[in-house]
Structure 1
Amino acid sequence: MPQTRSGSVTNFDAWKHAYASRAANLSVSEVRALFAVVSRPEVVSLAGGMPDVSALDSDLIEKAFLSMMASKKNYALQYGGGQGDLRLREQIQEIMALDGVHGSVEDITITTGSQHGLELVADLFLDAGDVVLVEAPSYVGAVGIFRHKEAHIEHVFTDEQGISPEALVEAADRLRAEGKKIKLLYVVPNFANPSGVTLSAERRARVLEICKERGILIVEDNPYGLLYFDQKPPAAIASLDSENVVYLGSFSKILSPGLRVGYVLAPPAIREKLVLANESAILSPASFAQMLVSEYLSISDWQGQIETFRQLYKTKRDAALEALTQYLPRIETTVPAGGFFLWLTLPEGLNSKEMLPLAVNELVAYTPGTAFYGDGRGANNIRVCFSHPSAENVKVGIKRLSNVVNLQLDLLDTFSSKD
């Protein structure tokens, strides 16, 4: 039996009889399970989707903090409104405009990261058994939320141009014919987590049309859109329609995830419910973090900082692609035009989850593809995150990964030849 520090026995099942039924849908994600491993300094982590905050100008962060405490301390240390700080919402308008989105400040709600925004939206719309359409593969945090809400997660075929409109029509009409309620389409259209692919402009318009015709609300999650390497991605789906899209944004990737500040742009009726849900869940977003972000945006060249991130992550992506070409030439990979991720496809017969302990022994960590599906798929996929390690360590990590993958390929070839 597990024991506490005092030595007394802990029974983890003591309250099992009292849990709500949905508690059974809570489980440790494969990403979170890696945290203990990746914290070891000798391990190169290609697992967690973390930004390289060392590239931030720490003097500017300190300057923003001191300025905020000098002029806004009494507000920053106090409760705030459930919708969030007005000045920050005005600044968010400027940020969204870079993606073609021009929403009213009244329709923006500040959340504790965009993950919190997604949870609020899911809680508002999803009853047990409702359907959420998602990309194949899809963001692990979204899969976890939808599973917790007891929704049916339907993955829709996705290729190098993003989610397929034809497959979306097929899935939506088939599920509706089966009598199921389709509530949401969740997409990460720019440099998607985990695949790195970008939804084409033509498909954005078609996906919107398909969902409008069928009464499906689109939840557009865009944490990476400003982190393009060469060419801006197409304008957001929310720029094409303000009534049928809920748009999620975050400061986690363009500033710092430690501040936990995100936002939701929603049509007025949904926004009113979101604010009430926000107040019910957390009373109010953290005033301190909001005002620190706002002050940073006021005094810094934040677009210049984003450009620094773009160039840094492009260098790391190129290092990853070079290393894959050198050490794993038989492995297929996506080539993202921005963001943090590569999506590797291994030959059939290799299992990324089973290989992970071997990789850790080689002092490299990654996320198995099964984490990004709600139906058990992805065993022959690996998500590689190149954003956090140095470019040199990205290469080191992929070389270590190749030691494991190439050994498994050799064994696969040996058994195939015997057959």
Structure 2
Amino acid sequence: MEQHARTDAYTDRYAARAAGMVPSEIRALFAVVSRPEIVSLAGGAPYVSALPLDIVGDMIGDLVAGRGAEVLQYGSAQGDAELRERICEVMALEGIRASAEDVVVTVGAQQALDLITKIFIDPGDVILAEAPSYVGALGTFASYQADVVHVPLDEGGLIPAALRETLDRLAREGRRVKFLYTVPTFQNPAGVTLTAARRSQILEICAEHDVLIIEDNPYGLLDGDPMRAMRADDPERVIYLGSFSKTIASGLRVGWVLAPHAVRAKLVLAAESATLCPSNFSQLAVREYLNTQPWREQIKNFRELYRERRDAMLDALETQMPGGCTWTRPAGGFFVWLTLPEGLDSKAMAPRAIAERVAYVPGTGFYADGSGRRQMRLSYCFPEPHRIREGVRRLAGVVEQEIRLRDTFGGAGSSIPNGVEAPGPHVV
């Protein structure tokens, strides 16, 4: 009876695509990391408390009181026209010249990913993605039954030579690549940034192979002078995704797609069938914020806050992590990508870390093929600096214990079955 209760009685009714819908490594941790005794270096939640919440609250109250009949009504599937104009001003900071007519407002950049995959991907189509890659994108690609092929990155971002080699190999195999998915600036999860020289090379390689590029850029404004977007140099090949989740507030769920005109038309139809229209309330709240608040100054405040937390994490890793561990040194964004010594397995180690009251995301969640056993993503965006240092101290203790177990039992502590290490990314 108990076994029957655990069985999904609807299994034979689901579509084939539902088989790829599984919880992400991050979502599986949520119930645990919310406990106050756990130092969570896992989730990528922005620190929204840094906003002037009283001022924002008054602004939203006045907006509803004065224009509630508009704010609380349906809107268009493409999104509010004035907000789309403001979005073009934001993108101009990264060198993009765009028309509001080619912008589609979405429910966060995550919906933008879903819509793009829906209109371009048939089951079995090939998508190229960085190794490692954003877990939310991999989940979307799996739900549409895409075949994800990874391309390695290093401290300079996606490796052009590896991209060319992969595209050449797939062409020889007669397999067409629908698009390359990349997070070029402060990449999630690796934290690295694609250099300007490599951006040009990747545009050239994709043009040679007639491959679209999906440029996902939620972190681009979060440190220093913004990098020039790839979209700025190839408007017809690059579909650009943006979001206000990191620069204003994630709970508003307002993102966007900038696409070539013909693609934009398809995206509007897909968006209409998915949600009818994005939240008018959220859109007009963002529009009012951009029109009335010093949003550029607020982004500078976020930059300083995240820079302080990043430095706390990098300093703690340098002083506390045992030998054999390596990690990326991001110039901005939210994440550090850490590689464990040979013979250790971040996924097997995770429950032991939770027992020591620290959480991270195992690297396997950021690969479509099960790689990343020696890697983990550490997030510094949300905890206070002193909590970050304490979390790293606890994590270092767990790693030291795992190393002792490996040395004593020949890898029994958290080794991969049969002693075979899964390949990790080309990241130091």
Q: TM-score range by the shorter chain?
A: over 0.9
The answer for the alignment partner of 2:61 in structure 1 is 66
Is 2:76 the counterpart of 1:81? Answer: yes
The answer for the alignment partner of 1:353 in structure 2 is 347
Task: Choose the corresponding residue for 1:172, options 162, 167, 191.
Answer: 167
Cα drift, residue 340 of structure 1: 0.2
What are the ranges of 5 or more consecutive residues in structure 1 without an aligned counterpart?
4-8
The answer for the alignment partner of 1:288 in structure 2 is 281
2:370 aligns to what SS in structure 1?
A: coil
* Contact preservation (8 Å) 2:93, 2:226: no
The answer for the alignment partner of 2:425 in structure 1 is none
Letter in 2 for 1:376: G
* Contact preservation (8 Å) 1:162, 1:197: yes
Cα drift, residue 409 of structure 1: 1.4
* Contact preservation (8 Å) 1:67, 1:295: no
The answer for the alignment partner of 1:394 in structure 2 is 388
Deviation by residue 1:331-377 (Cα, 9 ceiling, x = unmatched): 21100000000000111210000000000001110000000000111
The answer for the alignment partner of 2:372 in structure 1 is 378
1:388 aligns to what SS in structure 2?
A: coil
Cα drift, residue 232 of structure 1: 2.4
After TM superposition, list the pairs within 5 Å mapping 1:152-231 onto structure 2: 152-228=147-223, 231=224
Q: How far apart, in 2, do the equivalents of 1:384 and 1:11 lie?
A: 34
The answer for the alignment partner of 1:321 in structure 2 is 314
* Contact preservation (8 Å) 1:198, 1:233: no
Q: How far apart, in 2, do the equivalents of 1:172 and 1:205 lie?
A: 17
Q: How far apart, in 2, do the equivalents of 1:262 and 1:234 lie?
A: 19
* Contact preservation (8 Å) 1:60, 1:296: no
Cα drift, residue 106 of structure 1: 0.1
Letter in 1 for 2:381: S
Q: How far apart, in 1, do the equivalents of 2:31 and 2:410 lie?
A: 37
Q: Deviating runs (4+, > 4 A) in structure 1?
A: 9-12
Cα drift, residue 71 of structure 1: 3.1
TM-score, scaled to structure 2: 0.94
Q: How far apart, in 2, do the equivalents of 1:61 and 1:262 lie?
A: 19
The answer for the alignment partner of 1:92 in structure 2 is 87
* Contact preservation (8 Å) 1:44, 1:363: yes
The answer for the alignment partner of 2:12 in structure 1 is 17
Q: How far apart, in 1, do the equivalents of 2:65 and 2:82 lie?
A: 17
After TM superposition, list the pairs within 5 Å mapping 1:198-347 onto structure 2: 198-228=193-223, 231-330=224-323, 331-347=325-341
Letter in 2 for 1:284: C
Task: Choose the corresponding residue for 1:364, options 353, 358, 371.
Answer: 358
The answer for the alignment partner of 1:6 in structure 2 is none
2:151 aligns to what SS in structure 1?
A: strand
Q: How far apart, in 1, do the equivalents of 2:288 and 2:170 lie?
A: 48
Deviation by residue 1:177-222 (Cα, 9 ceiling, x = unmatched): 1121200100000000000000000110110111111111100000
Name the CA shift for 1:349/1:263 in 2 (closer, same or farther; >3 Å).
same
2:256 aligns to what SS in structure 1?
A: strand
Cα drift, residue 24 of structure 1: 0.4
What are the ranges of 5 or more consecutive residues in structure 2 without an aligned counterpart?
412-428
* Contact preservation (8 Å) 2:322, 2:396: no
* Contact preservation (8 Å) 1:238, 1:246: yes
Is 2:48 the counterpart of 1:53? Answer: yes
TM-score, scaled to structure 1: 0.96
Percentage identity across paired residues of the two chains? 53
The answer for the alignment partner of 2:419 in structure 1 is none
Identify which range, 22-31 or 62-71, moves more after superposition. Answer: 62-71
Deviation by residue 1:28-71 (Cα, 9 ceiling, x = unmatched): 11100000001101111000111111111102211220231133
Letter in 1 for 2:185: N
* Contact preservation (8 Å) 2:39, 2:357: yes
Deviation by residue 1:210-244 (Cα, 9 ceiling, x = unmatched): 1111111100000000001xx32420000101100
Deviation by residue 1:270-302 (Cα, 9 ceiling, x = unmatched): 000000000011000000010011111111101
Name the CA shift for 1:150/1:59 in 2 (closer, same or farther; >3 Å).
same
Task: Choose the corresponding residue for 1:26, options 21, 27, 43.
Answer: 21
Letter in 2 for 1:384: L
Task: Choose the corresponding residue for 1:143, options 113, 131, 138.
Answer: 138
Aligned pair count reads 410
Cα drift, residue 11 of structure 1: 5.5
Cα drift, residue 10 of structure 1: 4.5
Q: How far apart, in 1, do the equivalents of 2:7 and 2:245 lie?
A: 34
Letter in 2 for 1:149: Y
